[in-house]
């Protein structure tokens, strides 16, 4: 039976009529009206579905905003959420961290400041999601209430994770975490972590505990100098002297300089035990003059990303002298730590570049795996700076 005839019979007023007696033009008009009504009904259902979906999305968005702004109903809530936030940072859980960061969030550590976007980018790009701190003991917890601001502070004794090869660093420091009111809830506005010691004291303590770093000479150093004629060498940030002692054993006249007097003490003791001769200088390299055309080799092995040392290093090298660098590479352009790819080649423009690579490998410090820069260059006679 044609669709329009079925439609006519479904209308109460026309149900008793014989469709054959109804003029064709009336049937056509009724069929057109029926089709229009059906189209309108279909559109109404679509609009109702869209409206329902939009309302659901709005409700979900509202619920998300309510979850993102943390409820801190008691001091116990502040303490627990503060610790949970720091644990999320440890895990590099960028989703959980982003949910509670205020738009104007600031992280301050070791004299450097990171904003919200930088923090989240670093977490998302972290090569390993291994827990950064495997152990943490809190003490001296304190809360300060100031209207729309809550401040949590606490001391923490921590053991670093992700360093099974050398054993994780053991650190003691102080956290400060500031919550700011956001609507009916709270978000993290400020995070700081301050070591309980100065840089010198931290390295002294690290060398005493004898963990977190390799005790063997650096592999890049060994490979680069294989078959080289010994000369006069300077080992920057020599630490406990592992590389300086290796150089001395190969016949080099070597000087090691470091801020850690404890590291230098260990280096001297090791030299005596092994029957080697090294010179040690206890000084801040930033303020120490390296001299002019004094060394055949300068090493900068896990000595930080101190680009301000480069001009002094270049001046201290003799013609034909080598500079060997290994250390952290920048994980991203916005990362505050490490050498960016190609930077050292630019800084040593005019030198003969023997090696310049960024790799993922096993570092001598801190982690079982990291993104590293390895760089070797020779000063040519034409270079005067």
Q: Are residues 258 and 363 in the same domain?
A: yes
HSE-CB for 302 with a 13 A CA cutoff: 23
pLDDT at 40: 62
Q: Are residues 277 and 251 in the same domain?
A: yes
Do 355 and 325 form a contact (C-beta atoms < 8 A)? Answer: no
Residue 330 sits in a domain whose CATH number is 3.40.50.150
Query: Does residue 48 or residue 265 have the better pLDDT?
Result: 265
Instruction: Determine the Cα–Cα distance for residues 225 and 103; give it in Å rounded to an integer.
Output: 51
* Segment 151-177, tens digit of pLDDT: 999 888 888 777 777 777 788 888 999
Q: Are residues 106 and 192 in the same domain?
A: yes
pLDDT at 322: 97
pLDDT at 29: 61
Residue 146 sits in a domain whose CATH number is 3.10.450.50
The bridge status of strand 112-115 relative to strand 101-109 is antiparallel
Q: Are residues 92 and 148 in the same domain?
A: yes
- Per-residue pLDDT at 24 exceeds 80: no
- Residue 26 burial by Cβ neighbours in a 10 Å radius (0-12, 13-18, 19+): exposed
* Segment 301-343, tens digit of pLDDT: 999 888 889 999 999 999 999 999 999 998 766 556 788 889 9
67 confidence band (pLDDT: 50, 70, 90): very low
48 confidence band (pLDDT: 50, 70, 90): low
Residue 31 lies in a domain: yes
- Identify the helix (H) or strand (E) that includes residue 298: strand 295-301
Residue 114 lies in a domain: yes
Torsion-angle region of 183 (φ positive above 0: left; ψ -120 to 50: alpha; else: beta): left
| Domain end (from 68, 90, 108) | 68
- Identify the helix (H) or strand (E) that includes residue 16: none
Q: Are residues 103 and 119 in the same domain?
A: yes
Query: Does residue 235 or residue 7 have the better pLDDT?
Result: 235
Residue 383 lies in a domain: no
Domain that holds residue 53: 3-68
Polymer length in residues for the chain: 385
* Segment 133-153, tens digit of pLDDT: 778 889 888 888 888 888 999
Residue 201 lies in a domain: no
What are the phi and psi torsion angles at 288 (to 5°)?
Answer: -100, 135
| Domain end (from 68, 101, 117) | 68
- Per-residue pLDDT at 384 exceeds 70: no
* Segment 69-115, tens digit of pLDDT: 677 778 888 899 999 999 898 888 888 999 999 999 999 887 788 89
Q: Strand, helix or coil at 288?
A: coil
Query: What letters, b where the CB count within 10 A reaches 16 and e where it falls short, cover 291-306?
Result: eeeebbbbbbbbbebe
Q: Are residues 34 and 111 in the same domain?
A: no
Torsion angle, CA of 139/163/369/228, rounded to 10 degrees?
Answer: 120
Q: Strand, helix or coil at 218?
A: coil
Query: Does residue 379 or residue 11 have the better pLDDT?
Result: 379
Q: Are residues 213 and 316 in the same domain?
A: yes
Do 298 and 317 form a contact (C-beta atoms < 8 A)? Answer: yes
Average pLDDT over residues 13-41: 62
How much is the CA Rg of the chain, to the nearest whole Å?
34
Mention every residue, 6+ apart, whose C-beta is less than 8 A from residue 198.
none
pLDDT at 23: 67
- What number of other Cβ atoms are within 10 A of residue 52's Cβ? 10
Mention every residue, 6+ apart, whose C-beta is less than 8 A from residue 332.
121, 122, 125
Mention every residue, 6+ apart, whose C-beta is less than 8 A from residue 12.
none
- Identify the helix (H) or strand (E) that includes residue 360: strand 352-361
Query: Does residue 21 or residue 66 have the better pLDDT?
Result: 21
* Segment 266-302, tens digit of pLDDT: 999 999 999 999 999 999 999 999 999 999 999 999 9
pLDDT at 375: 97
Nearest to 324 by CA among 211, 244, 206: 244
Residue 202 lies in a domain: no
pLDDT at 185: 86
Q: Are residues 56 and 182 in the same domain?
A: no
| Domain end (from 68, 84, 116) | 68
Q: How many angstroms separate the first and last alpha carbons of the chain?
A: 99
- Per-residue pLDDT at 3 exceeds 50: no
Q: Are residues 64 and 81 in the same domain?
A: no
356 confidence band (pLDDT: 50, 70, 90): very high
Q: Are residues 241 and 326 in the same domain?
A: yes
Q: Are residues 146 and 269 in the same domain?
A: no
What are the phi and psi torsion angles at 99 (to 5°)?
Answer: -65, -25
Q: How many domains does the chain have?
A: 3
Q: Are residues 174 and 212 in the same domain?
A: no
């Amino acid at each position: 039976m044609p669709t329009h005839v079925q439609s006519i019979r479904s209308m109460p007023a026309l149900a008793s009529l014989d469709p054959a007696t109804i003029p064709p033009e009336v049937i056509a008009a009724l069929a057109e009206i029926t089709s229009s009504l059906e189209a309108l009904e279909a559109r109404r259902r679509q609009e109702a579905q869209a409206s329902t979906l939009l309302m659901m999305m709005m409700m979900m968005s509202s619920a998300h905003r309510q979850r993102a702004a943390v409820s801190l109903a008691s001091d116990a809530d502040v303490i627990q959420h503060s610790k949970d936030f720091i644990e999320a940072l440890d895990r590099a859980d960028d989703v959980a961290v982003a949910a509670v960061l205020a738009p104007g969030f600031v992280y301050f550590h070791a004299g450097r400041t990171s904003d919200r976007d930088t923090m989240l980018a670093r977490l998302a790009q972290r090569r390993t999601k291994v827990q950064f701190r495997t152990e943490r003991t809190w003490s001296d917890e304190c809360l300060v209430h100031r209207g729309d601001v809550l401040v949590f502070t606490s001391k923490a004794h921590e053991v670093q994770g992700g360093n099974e090869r050398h054993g994780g660093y053991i650190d003691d420091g102080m956290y400060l975490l500031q919550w700011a009111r956001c609507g009916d809830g709270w978000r993290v506005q400020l995070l700081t972590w301050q070591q309980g010691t100065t840089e010198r004291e931290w390295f002294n303590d690290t060398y005493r505990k004898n963990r977190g770093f390799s005790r063997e000479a650096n592999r890049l150093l060994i490979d680069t100098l294989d078959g080289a004629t010994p000369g006069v060498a300077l080992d920057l940030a020599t630490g406990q002297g592992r590389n300086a002692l290796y150089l001395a054993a190969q016949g080099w006249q070597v000087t090691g300089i470091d801020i850690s007097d404890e590291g230098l003490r260990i280096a001297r003791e090791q030299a005596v035990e092994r029957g080697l001769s090294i010179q040690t200088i206890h000084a801040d390299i930033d303020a120490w003059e390296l001299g002019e055309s004094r060394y055949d080799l300068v090493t900068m092995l896990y000595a930080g990303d101190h680009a301000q040392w480069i001009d002094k290093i270049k001046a201290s090298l003799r013609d034909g002298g080598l500079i060997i660098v290994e250390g952290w590479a920048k994980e991203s352009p916005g990362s505050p730590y490490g050498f960016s790819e190609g930077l050292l080649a630019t800084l040593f423009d005019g030198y003969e570049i023997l090696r310049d690579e960024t790799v993922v490998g096993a570092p001598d410090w801190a982690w079982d795996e990291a993104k590293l820069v390895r760089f070797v260059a020779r000063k040519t006679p034409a270079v005067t700076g």
